[in-house]
Structure 1
Amino acid sequence: MELNLSKRQQSSSLNRAMVKLTPIAAGCAVMLALSSGAAFAQQAEPAKEAAKADPQQTTETVVVTGIRRGIEAAISLKKNSTSIVEAISAEDIGKLPDSSVAESISRLPGVTAQRSRSSGKAADISVRGLSPSFNGSLLNGREQASTGNARAPEFDLFPAELMGSVMIYKTPDASLIGQGLAATIDLNTLKPLDFGKQVVSAAYRKQRTGVQTASEGSGDRISFSYVDQFADRTIGLSLGFTKFKEDGGAQQRFNTWGGWSPEVDYNGAKVKTIGGFGADTETSKSDRDGASATLQFKPNKNFKSTIDLFYSAGSSSLKKTGLEGAIAGSAGGYDPDGVLSNATIVNGVVTAGTFSNYKGVVRNHKESAKDKFTSIGWNSDLKVDEWTLNADLAYSKAKKDASRYETTAGQPGNATGLSSISYTGFNGGNFNDVKYTTSLNFGDRNVAKLTDVNGWGGGVDSPQAGYVALPTVNDKVTSFRLTASRDVEFGPIVTARFGVNGTDREKIRAGQEGRLVVKGTNGYATATVPGSAVGVAGTTGLPIVSFDPEGSLGSIYDLARWVDASVLAKDWSVHEKVTTAYAMGDLDGELMGLNYRGNVGVQFVHTNQSSTGNQVDLANCTGITAATCPSSVVGGGTSYSNILPSLNVSFNLGSDQYFRVGAGKIMSRANMDDMRASQAFGVTTQGNNPILTGSGGNPNLKPFLAKALDLSYEKYFGNKGYFSFAGFYKSLDTYIYRSPTTFDFAPFVSAKTPLPLTGAYKGSTVGLLTAPRNGEGGSIHGFEMAVNVPFNMFSSYLDGFGAMLNHSDTSSKITLPGFGFGNVAVTSLNIPLPGLSKKVSNLRLYYEKNGFQVAWAARKRSDFLGQVSDYQDNMQLTMVKGETLVDLQASYEFQSGWLKGLSLLVQANNWNNTPFQEYNTDPNVITNKVTYGRTYLFGANYKF
């Protein structure tokens, strides 16, 4: 496939420039200002800028046919850019047998991915080791709606085959809307007039998942693309379709309950033993249909109009079959403490023993979701005399309907003759290696029945044989953008561009949830587990009864709706209006004998945000129903403005060497669920000081703001290879953290609200509210290096071989301000930023010649504070152990004959079967472990 790549994808500022700009250091800013009287910045039109950068290169046609060509295209973009960018082209994406954009771009330098702990696939993208929430994400230059609590869409909404290119901007410029603190990721659909001819492509892929696990899964994927031009290339049309279906393999998990190892009495001494565990076998299913269409009309050189549509709809489910329960202690009102016998003690640790009164809980849980995402955009360029005008209108909508069924089976709350549990092989910290046996068979439907096993709902008067949650998310984003640009002669400023962008967004999260109660006459009611299936409890190998609980509401269970502060706080709405005005000027000049290109610009961003949510007065909340836990709808919001200057320069040092310097101010907005107005509070006791305490969101939350400095040296070897070394520093003006903070609850207190009766806060409405807050101070800094070379640079005998290596090292420090908590004073703490991996490395070795392509790739990242969804659908932070993932790929493309255009490929992902592991404080004590196995893919691609 031939892909025409000019120095810009479009002259429109919405369709991001392929020649992008880097921030400039303050010193260079002063010198440039003195030498030019410069003001504002943008980019030159592609032909003009390319001519000034290199008179021999106005536009270029890159025939992208394989690994090497894809690398050379990316090197050309990086080399000709004035900013720090990474890119992947349509052919690169089509060649990679990846199911989503996240899988594809996680291979790029300085980019890595956090795997979903349920599927093991790349889910969230980190750039320079920073949290995914610090990225700005765009589609065709526009902010989009999302189906989750976060601001940006999940990347698995975007099938890789439907993308024309992906650009990752590690540094901002004034025309970049929706920028992020770490990077801005812009996904672009195909533009048919960028192609030189008609292209038709079809592909089929078959996959095996969960290889080397308890059981394997399978999947199928088909895709079709059509690109054509009509009426003497004045009309262009591209269409794309993809369909994917996967039945996942069995993933085995083991959870140590946080490494709980209590001390118990045994023969008159205290000994350390295992407190309890949870072990699951998880199987997943997913399917997704995607479609894209782009229509372009360019009747003459002065006018071009583009309409693009993108659609994605899918469903997913995760079935968890497991066993959990306390061993030494108790896990509920119906669970007596275990009594130790037959113990083997080594250095005060019970390495083997038996506990009576084991109240094992068999869990059959299922999480399901259906989502739909639609995006429509219309972009037009018009040239009038010396001015080029652009208008852009866009609309996107996302909806997600989810359900979460949790069921419990075992012996009912009034049962006698409980099981015992024995274990061997414990040394005090190796929870994952311990072997277990139980006296009762929990795979027997006469033993394990659907019931309230442990009284988790509160007891016989409010039985809980499970739980169900039915949340929905709706998100809508509309935007418009107007820009105007023209060539000027004002010192080194060669082009001036002005623009305004308006975005209106509303996101709503709602739903209901509650206890599942077995139909019956009392709280100990039981029901036989449907079917005859028997599963395995994770890595323990213990047999357990298994069934699919979806749809059991109404047939087996009644719903007792749960209404309390934690549940009501999940329902919220956020409305956001953002207006951005910017001015830019392209720079082209000479300083101290060095030619430079770049831009100078400024954004003015005004934000008006509001939110609604539920407020619960915990002092008056005596139950879990609407009558016993009254709430009211509350609202809040704020407005603020930010000025974000940027100055970007690339100095040509000669001999294919470039030095890039940048400085600017950048912004990253908060997740939308953090901006909810939901709130709950009541009196709690800390020591001898009762005090009002509460939790909730913060509708007044403002974004991360930082001053950024970037320095980069790059040495190129034509378009064949390069070496680069870059350093960056971000000084945080504000950041977002969640911590108890002094707060006056007076606006929310009624005459009936109980206040503290004693202590320092007697009668006071001032207390502590745990909510997202803006802190001040702190920094992010680091360096990254990359080497990308073909080995034929060293010897002709190595023709076809090559390597890509990159490494980033990032550190952060935030000063958490001290706060009062009762009579306890907490001093300031230095904490790392959530989501930060200090070290991230990528290595890819490849061979490509005569149609053969072979690649070996490894991605490594160090420990980091990750984000996962807990059992209540809330996002939680957890320490994730560092990991190394190894992928293999081989393909052959027929070069001639009637099979020309046909490619065959095979790939193995997670070849080394790296598990996903979590821990609390000690990385040697794993609290949660998931093993995914390998994934094999086999496929064929035909292009004509």
Structure 2
Amino acid sequence: MNIFAGKRTKSAAFQLKPVAAGCAVFLSALTGTAGAQQAADAPVQSVVVSGIRSGIEAAISIKKNSTSIVEAVSAEDIGKLPDLSVAESLSRLPGVTAQRSRDSGKPADISVRGLSPSFNGSLLNGREQASTGNARAPEFDLFPAELISSAMVYKSPDATLVGQGLASTINLTTRQPLDFGSRVLAASARTERTGVNSGNPEGDGHRYSFSYVDQFANRTIGVALGVTKQKDVGGGQAKFEGGGTNIYDPKTAANPNGLNVVVPSGFKADTETTASDRTGVMATFQYRPSRDFKTMVDIFHSSGSHSLKKTGLEGSISGSWGGYDPVGKLINPTIANGVATSGTFTGFKGDVRNHMEAYDDKLNAIGWNTQWKTGEWTHIADLSHSKAHKDAVRYETTAGQAGNTPEAQVSNISWTGFNGTDLSSMHLTSNLDYSDRSKIFLTDTDGWGGGPNSPQAGYVAMPKVDDKVDSLRWSSKRNVEGWGPVAAVQFGANYTKRDKVRAGEEGRLVVKGGNGYATATVPGTEVGTAGTTGIPIVKFNPIGTLGSIYDMVQWIDSGVLAKDWSVSEKVSTLFAMGDLDGELGSIPYRGNFGTQFVHTSQHTTGNKVDLATCTGITAATCPFSKISDGTSYNDFLPSANVTFDLGNDQVVRLAAAKVLARANLDDMRASSAFGVSKNGAVQILTGSGGNAKLEPFRAKQLDLSYEKYFGKKGYFSGALFYKKLDTYILRVPRAFDFKDQVGPNTPLPQDGPYKNSTVGLLTTPENGDGGNIKGVEFAVNVPFSLLTSYLDGFGVMVNYSNTSSGVTLPASGFATKDVTPIKIPLPGLSKQVTNLRAYYENHGFQIAWAARKRSDFLGQISDYQDNSQLTFVRGDTIIDMQVSYEFQSGVMKGLSVFANANNWNNTPYREFNGVDRNAFVFKTTYGRTYQFGATYKF
């Protein structure tokens, strides 16, 4: 029995109207099984999708008609999501938020219901994609918003959803040409200005896109093409990273007893600029000769380049950061409440940083989906291939005073405005002009390589990543009668094979043709600024200096070799599901229940260093061998979704499932490394590496949702959810005896309780006990015309989520090593997230004002060695504005012009030490971004 037959009939009758036609397009594209293309029972007569309200209504239709608990974003027009990036649009949904990129300040990583981005399953047209990073899915910024017709976030899965995640499954959908009633062409151009009001030089960029949709042969053949081209140079971003504090005892002849005061330890301040160039291409070809057969091929290509230039200054203020860095003395301090609020330290050996991180990447994906009917059965076959490649280079160069500069000639560093905790509030000056090329040279400034016999005037790394994902899927479905509430059954299988390799070489840079104290003139004449300090410094681009200024001494040791690995993963999934359609008493319900049986086989390789014979950092002095390991395991993943129709457009949804999220691929590598380090003040052997036998995160989840709809115009919803994390992957340090890997030349601790001991700590990802996560979500999405016709065109979208959880994580997982919290939130979790979007749309005008606010959270960043680290990120509020006008008639009909402003309130990005949320260890201001452009559709 079809309990929603009345509603569906009404919806079908409404298809001739533009808004409902748009809803039908997106509903046909997205509802049902991810990746299975729904059959169109009859050609759509006309599809005209435009405007804020049409996008909202299409998303509401998706949410209302889904059998799962979902959130959706639909394009307001062909090639036009409501925001300029997929990540921005997703971050406005209930229970969804974004972490800003450290590089650009733009939303990049998506967290759903308080879980880190790696807990999401990410799909394109229902298929897993290759990636160029350590995560399984590519970043959302890789997909141009103009080529995406809609995005759906599955908060509760069904049994046919393959590639699902533990937090959610996010499916991006490209457009399908036979869902459009006629030929459509659209072109747009946009220019932007970034870093406005940041206090640094501004950046600019431009973006062009073209879309073409057409149908041929009496609407049996459809073609959709889309191309985007983007190029931009980011504005300067002033960044500051504090090095903590020290307690100083300034004993003098006049003050023999000394006076312990808090002084700054050190700092790192950069001015960063980015540049990117990206091309995206999408093509879809459909063939539908009859109602019983259709086939489609979709192709996606994205390629581009990106660079991040860091120009800055770092150094120790009250201590020493290297063998050539003297420990200075505090002079002329101003002391208040035990804090040296101002003062000067002698012996400051500053390192001018001219670093460059750059990469070229490419992602190609192709999928072939065919659907046909034989008797009562509908069959779907899907074949896909995705391949990604990335070539990267990371230059780190140091400039300053040579290592043999007499201490009397080393500079001083002075500060004011220090409050004892927040180093970013200081104003710094030096008595040495770090922008003078006659005094500042490319050289081994601090002796970080170990001394004059192994100079290190910089470092270079050149990693490469290759990833390939191949999938084959088949399913069959039919309606049944006499099975009680079961209205249809389907079953199928999916096989996915993934191969990913990370390789490269790296080593220290040595100034050509000189001794260990050799220097070289800094190329060019550019002068930059060291981040928020305002200190002028020499500036140049180090790309191309290898071979001209520097030689590379390849570094081969356990730490470097541990970065190279390969992972081969085979996942076989069998699934079966029944569709529900019945009544509980007098209450109609619909939904599904089913299960997946998943078999996983993984094999990984890595490098193992024979430390018993490793006496140096070259291939000759540090022998190594390839090692491999792996495992296989099974998962049984039942799920159920039931939607009860309470009448008057009210529904209650209940969902339960067992879900999993696979580990990041670098955590599964077979390699490891160890050496002497300090655990606090104690010397001890410590090691780290991957775990080839690592299994997924696993959880059981329960969802309850109430939704009240106002026709197709708006809705109110409230939801409760609970996840019991059965397993959680932690990087756990554990006692380990390295005796089998230690040889006569292996350095051992030289003092303390572990002197000459082979017992130490080994940190690897481990499957441990999990925790729990629970929360509530509320959303209101209504046009004000529901209240009075005088407010026609006005509307508001508001959502709020409150999520809580806790899990014990070791301090070894943190970028800030001196912080040892006992209980911390799950990575990615903000306890409170609020989104607001107010809009007006009428007479061709579209105006929107949006704000998203999140509380403090534990973020994930990449450190200078490309390793993932945890850091506490201060909560913030971001305000965006949009305005556009579309000409309604005359020769300019089809033309719309628009202007956008992002981060209007210029909110800074700040990381803190986890104990004091006002003690910032990293801070940067991105400024506003303005975009201006036009779109023409014909």
Q: Mark yes or no: TM-score above 0.5.
A: yes
Distance 1:751-1:503 versus aligned 2 partners, 3 A rule: farther
C-alpha displacement of 1:679: 1.2
Match of 1:924 in 2: 918
C-alpha displacement of 1:627: 2.6
Q: How does 1:639-650 map to 2 (within 5 A)?
A: 639-650=632-643
Q: Is the 8 A contact 1:6 1:60 kept in 2?
A: no
Q: How does 1:348-747 map to 2 (within 5 A)?
A: 348-416=338-406, 417-489=409-481, 490-618=483-611, 620-681=613-674, 693-742=686-735
C-alpha displacement of 1:287: 0.8
Match of 1:9 in 2: 29
Question: Given residue 464 of structure 1, which amino acid in structure 2 is its aligned partner?
Answer: Q
Q: Is the 8 A contact 2:639 2:658 kept in 1?
A: yes
SS of the aligned residue for 1:104 comes to: helix
Q: How does 1:232-247 map to 2 (within 5 A)?
A: 232-247=218-233
Match of 1:26 in 2: none
Distance 1:844-1:443 versus aligned 2 partners, 3 A rule: same
Question: Given residue 381 of structure 2, which amino acid in structure 1 is its aligned partner?
Answer: A
C-alpha displacement of 1:629: 2.5
1:95, 1:376 → 2: CA distance?
23
Confirm or deny that 1:860 pairs with 2:856: no
Q: Is the 8 A contact 2:75 2:81 kept in 1?
A: no
**Identity over the aligned pairs, expressed in percent?**
64
SS of the aligned residue for 1:331 comes to: coil
Match of 1:943 in 2: 937
1:241, 1:308 → 2: CA distance?
14
Match of 1:110 in 2: 95
Match of 1:218 in 2: 204
Q: Is the 8 A contact 1:15 1:140 kept in 2?
A: yes
C-alpha displacement of 1:805: 0.4
C-alpha displacement of 1:11: 8.8
Residues 186-240 of structure 1 show CA distances to partners (whole Å, capped at 9, x for unaligned) of 1111111111111100000010001012111100100000000000110000011
1:656, 1:852 → 2: CA distance?
31
C-alpha displacement of 1:906: 0.2
Question: Given residue 849 of structure 1, which amino acid in structure 2 is its aligned partner?
Answer: N
Q: Is the 8 A contact 1:902 1:943 kept in 2?
A: yes
Q: Is the 8 A contact 2:26 2:150 kept in 1?
A: no
1:788, 1:143 → 2: CA distance?
31
Match of 2:927 in 1: 933
Match of 1:68 in 2: 53
Question: Given residue 703 of structure 1, which amino acid in structure 2 is its aligned partner?
Answer: P
1:220, 1:816 → 2: CA distance?
43
1:454, 1:535 → 2: CA distance?
21
2:613, 2:163 → 1: CA distance?
43
Q: How does 1:258-407 map to 2 (within 5 A)?
A: 259-266=244-251, 267=255, 268-407=258-397
Q: Is the 8 A contact 2:511 2:551 kept in 1?
A: yes
Pairwise CA RMSD: 2.8
Q: Is the 8 A contact 1:805 1:842 kept in 2?
A: yes
C-alpha displacement of 1:520: 2.5
C-alpha displacement of 1:718: 1.1
Question: Given residue 543 of structure 1, which amino acid in structure 2 is its aligned partner?
Answer: P
Question: Given residue 932 of structure 2, which amino acid in structure 1 is its aligned partner?
Answer: F
1:167, 1:301 → 2: CA distance?
26
Residues 400-447 of structure 1 show CA distances to partners (whole Å, capped at 9, x for unaligned) of 000011111111001131111211122212322211221111111011
Match of 1:54 in 2: none
Confirm or deny that 1:813 pairs with 2:806: yes
C-alpha displacement of 1:832: 2.3
Which one of the candidate residues 207, 210, 213 is aligned to 2:192?
Answer: 207
- For structure 2, the residue ranges without an aligned partner over 5 or more in a row are 1-17, 813-819
Q: Is the 8 A contact 2:349 2:446 kept in 1?
A: yes
SS of the aligned residue for 1:834 comes to: coil
Distance 1:601-1:934 versus aligned 2 partners, 3 A rule: same
C-alpha displacement of 1:688: 14
C-alpha displacement of 1:95: 3.4
Q: Is the 8 A contact 1:6 1:59 kept in 2?
A: no
Q: Is the 8 A contact 1:725 1:784 kept in 2?
A: yes
Residues 341-382 of structure 1 show CA distances to partners (whole Å, capped at 9, x for unaligned) of 111111221111121111111111110010000001111011
2:752, 2:342 → 1: CA distance?
49
Match of 1:773 in 2: 766
Match of 1:899 in 2: 892
Match of 2:151 in 1: 166
Q: Is the 8 A contact 2:347 2:411 kept in 1?
A: yes
Q: How does 1:770-849 map to 2 (within 5 A)?
A: 770-814=763-807, 830-849=823-842
Aligned residue pairs, count: 901
TM-score computed with the length of structure 1 as normaliser? 0.91
C-alpha displacement of 1:765: 9.0
2:716, 2:788 → 1: CA distance?
18
Distance 1:780-1:16 versus aligned 2 partners, 3 A rule: farther
1:212, 1:850 → 2: CA distance?
33
Confirm or deny that 1:150 pairs with 2:135: yes
Q: Is the 8 A contact 1:617 1:681 kept in 2?
A: no
Match of 2:817 in 1: none
Match of 2:10 in 1: none
Residues 616-668 of structure 1 show CA distances to partners (whole Å, capped at 9, x for unaligned) of 24454332222333222111100000000011100001111111111110111
SS of the aligned residue for 1:709 comes to: strand
Match of 1:52 in 2: none
2:248, 2:755 → 1: CA distance?
39
1:10, 1:920 → 2: CA distance?
43
2:159, 2:698 → 1: CA distance?
15
Q: Is the 8 A contact 1:7 1:47 kept in 2?
A: no
Match of 1:37 in 2: none
2:334, 2:925 → 1: CA distance?
30
Q: Is the 8 A contact 2:46 2:180 kept in 1?
A: no
C-alpha displacement of 1:905: 0.2
Question: Given residue 292 of structure 1, which amino acid in structure 2 is its aligned partner?
Answer: M
C-alpha displacement of 1:802: 0.9
Question: Given residue 709 of structure 1, which amino acid in structure 2 is its aligned partner?
Answer: L
Residues 81-127 of structure 1 show CA distances to partners (whole Å, capped at 9, x for unaligned) of 22211222233573347553223322323222111101111111111
Question: Given residue 302 of structure 2, which amino acid in structure 1 is its aligned partner?
Answer: S
Q: Is the 8 A contact 1:317 1:366 kept in 2?
A: yes
Q: Is the 8 A contact 2:27 2:61 kept in 1?
A: no
Distance 1:763-1:882 versus aligned 2 partners, 3 A rule: closer
C-alpha displacement of 1:780: 1.0
Q: Is the 8 A contact 1:457 1:463 kept in 2?
A: yes
TM-score computed with the length of structure 2 as normaliser? 0.92
1:692, 1:636 → 2: CA distance?
24
C-alpha displacement of 1:884: 0.6
Higher relative contact order (CA 8 A, sep 6+): 1
Q: Is the 8 A contact 2:352 2:400 kept in 1?
A: yes
State which drifts further: 182-191 or 689-698.
689-698
Distance 1:749-1:62 versus aligned 2 partners, 3 A rule: farther
Q: Is the 8 A contact 1:322 1:544 kept in 2?
A: yes
